[in-house]
Amino acid sequence: MAATLKDVAIRAGVSRSAVSRTFTDGASVSPKMRKKVQKAAAELGYRPNALASSLTTGRTKMIGLISNNFHNPIFLTVFDRFTRALQERGLRPLLVNLSDETDPQSSVQMMRQYSVDGVIVASSTLSPDFSKAFRDAGVPVVHTFGRHATNPHVHVVGIDNVECGRMAARALVARGHRRVAFLGGPEAATSTQDRYQGFMTEMAKHPKVKTTYSFADDYSFEAGRAEMQRLLQGTMAEAYFCGDDVLSIGVLSAVRDAGLKVPEDIGIIGLNDMEMAGWANIDLTTIRQPIGQIINSSVELIAAMLDDPGRYPEARLFPCDVVERGTLRPVPDP
């Protein structure tokens, strides 16, 4: 049988409360007592019960990790990095799928039922009001990949999606394309709106270049492929900024099935630089989002909020860069 707190107390020759204090963060215990208890615990192979500890401290160390786009393969990387980063800080991630949830109050109620100490909303499509609902309920929250604001209501960590739209537009103009297009994700998504805004604002500086736009139903391979199949029935652009890598791969599939070549007939640039984008059979030119830095910063913030829930909200933006691969033709020599 597993060793109990009582067993440790007997082995160490101390009270049960002394053992409990030793394994309770912030509890008062002398160095001599701590050393004695830890030695007895190591000899017995004792591990403190996390649930029992939470009843004592009122803290579960559980962090709700919320997402609403499990269809996008990049979130395999996101969840992997998040769970490891949280666990390295002694926090316990609770992964929550909100793909069909639109009411933030239902999500707040769910997180309260699980007694989480904080929440990370990992979504580029949910509105700022979704995260704000947790703050208003007194739950520490960080919105990762959220919409940038100068004076955010909650902590926001991510990228400048408007600037990414501009970067994509500049990349297409630099290659001399005369007909370009934006192919975004769902029109209601904040990330789609911002990437579209940046792209169209930059293209307005080049009135001789014809610019069109359309939106897919989702950030998914199937949605990107379906939208490009629809566009192939009409007049095509020479190059497309697809507002996400997984959309781009769906577009690439439809273009190749139509007997067209990339980048000779149609150029494609995506956004994210997910692992799949670098596969030899895809070789996608894309805008890299620094996922690791964004996640580490988000975990740092949520951990800090557990000690200081009133910490003033801040927005942390990380720069992106274009990764040159094979779906856009090279920039011509000057």
List the single range of 19-23, 82-86, 89-93, 315-319 with lowest mean pLDDT. 19-23
Distance CA 119, CA 331 (A): 44
List pLDDT tens digits, range 11-48: 889 888 888 778 776 667 888 888 988 888 888 887 77
Tell me if residue 287 falls in helix, strand or coil: strand
| pLDDT score, position 102 | 65
Closest CA to 329 of 282, 261, 276: 261
- pLDDT above 60 (res 51): no
Share of the chain above pLDDT 90, in %: 62
| pLDDT score, position 54 | 56
Would you state the structure tokens that stand for residue 182, as one six-digit string? 């934006």
**DSSP code of residue 234:** S
List pLDDT tens digits, range 234-281: 999 999 999 899 999 999 999 999 999 999 999 999 999 999 999 999
Specify which residues 120 forms β-bridges with: 65, 142
Tell me if residue 180 falls in helix, strand or coil: strand
| pLDDT score, position 120 | 96
Range among 49-63, 103-117, 203-217, 305-319 with highest mean pLDDT value: 203-217
| pLDDT score, position 41 | 85
Count of Cβ atoms closer than 10 Å to residue 118 Cβ = 24
Distance CA 271, CA 188 (A): 18
- pLDDT above 60 (res 57): no
**Which DSSP string corresponds to 110-141?**
HHHHTT-SEEEEE-SSS-HHHHHHHHHTT--E
Cα distances (angstroms) measured from residue 139 to each of 62, 149, 170, 316? 12, 20, 41, 20
Mean per-residue pLDDT of the chain: 90
Count of Cβ atoms closer than 10 Å to residue 166 Cβ = 20
| pLDDT score, position 49 | 64
The residue ranges of every structural domain in the chain are 5-48, 62-160+290-318, 161-289
Residue 187 CB-half CA count within 13 A: 4
More confident residue, 211 or 76: 211
**DSSP code of residue 276:** G
Superfamily per CATH, domain 5-48: lambda repressor-like DNA-binding domains (1.10.260.40)
| pTM of the entire predicted model | 0.82
Closest CA to 230 of 246, 245, 212: 212
Which class is 161-289 in CATH? alpha beta
Domains 5-48 and 161-289 share a fold: no
Q: Which helix (H) or strand (E) holds 182?
A: strand 179-184
Topology adopted by domain 62-160+290-318: Rossmann fold (3.40.50)
Distance CA 237, CA 244 (A): 18
- pLDDT above 90 (res 52): no
Predicted confidence band of residue 97 (pLDDT cuts 50, 70, 90):
confident
